[in-house]
Amino acid sequence: MNYRHAFHAGNFADVLKHAVIALCLEHLKQKPKPFRVIDTHAGVGAYDLTSEAAKRSPEWRDGVGRLLDAAIPAGPAAALAPYLGAVRAMNEGGGLTHYPGSPELAARLLREADRAHLCELHEADAKTLDARYALDARIKVERRDGYKALAALLPPRERRGLVLIDPPFEAKDEFAALARALMGAVERWPTGMFAVWRPLKDLWAAQRFDAGLGLWLLEDRGVAPENLLRADLWVRDLEAEGRLAGAGLIVINPPHTLEGRLLALLPWLAQTLAQGPGAGWRLDGAVTEADLQAL
């Protein structure tokens, strides 16, 4: 594994992903019963935006950096509040020098009785992650293949929570590995909340994944259409050459409030984070005809 998220921390894809995660966690906190967060590809937990890696590719400037400088309307502001609250809490001295990855976001939003289980296979990153949360009794870190870990970790004893699957997409067969792991996980915990991140780079592969997963969930598993939500954002034409132009999440068993929050957020986010012609967004709950054509 060669992927280093420090080069991309805080970019447009992180903004959407972490805004969605924060909204899911805030929803879980509305009930007093504890919950568990399982992160299959946790990384190092948090990122120093003054590091050499971040300086070499400061993608955060066109992501979270734009948000902190923007006048945010009421609807998007409400949707971004839990996420940006965590970002600002890491940067109390002013400016933007640190960014929360999904583990740090969870650590800042969990209550005392809630728990997080973080998996990271990369040896150095797992050590960094473990050191960061060694004194936090709510958080367990394992150097482990997150896909394989799901078989042992699900269902969690709390029977409430969020599973985040956010692979690096280095392997050519990543979509296939992701599909196998996710389908097994849903079979083990059909009522669980799952957030699955994927890039919109190989569009045919992404559509094929979405359609196959959607049909399996709707037809084989009997998931109701309202329990499947897809949220995508692209900051320029998806066919454009160069860096990643689009990404998004599929959320299984989403909070009932999530769709409304994202309807308020995504149009503004696409406009604010646009990096060229063709920026846009998508929010739907089932597979489209274009997805089916990819099968």
Q: What is the DSSP string of 199-239?
A: ESSSHHHHHHHHHHHHHIIIIIS---GGGEEEEEEESS-TT
CB 157 within 8 A of CB 117: no
pLDDT at 20 over 60: yes
Select the more confidently predicted residue: 286 or 192. Answer: 192
pLDDT over threshold 90, residue 243: no
Catalytic center residues: 166
Inter-residue contact 60 to 96 (CB < 8 Å): yes
Rounded to whole angstroms, what are the CA distances from 209 to 181, 196, 214? 13, 11, 8
Task: Evaluate if residue 129 carries a pLDDT over 70.
Answer: yes
What pLDDT score does 4 carry?
55
Tokens of 11: 């970019």
Over residues 252-281, the mean pLDDT reads 97
Which structural domains are found in the chain, ordered by start? 5-242+258-294 (3.40.50.150)
CA 249 to chain CA centroid, Å, is 7
pLDDT tens, 161-177?
A: 999 999 999 888 999 99
pTM over 0.85: yes
- Name the maximum alpha-carbon separation found in the chain: 52
pLDDT tier for residue 94 given thresholds of 50, 70 and 90: confident
Count of other CB atoms within 10 angstroms of residue 136: 12
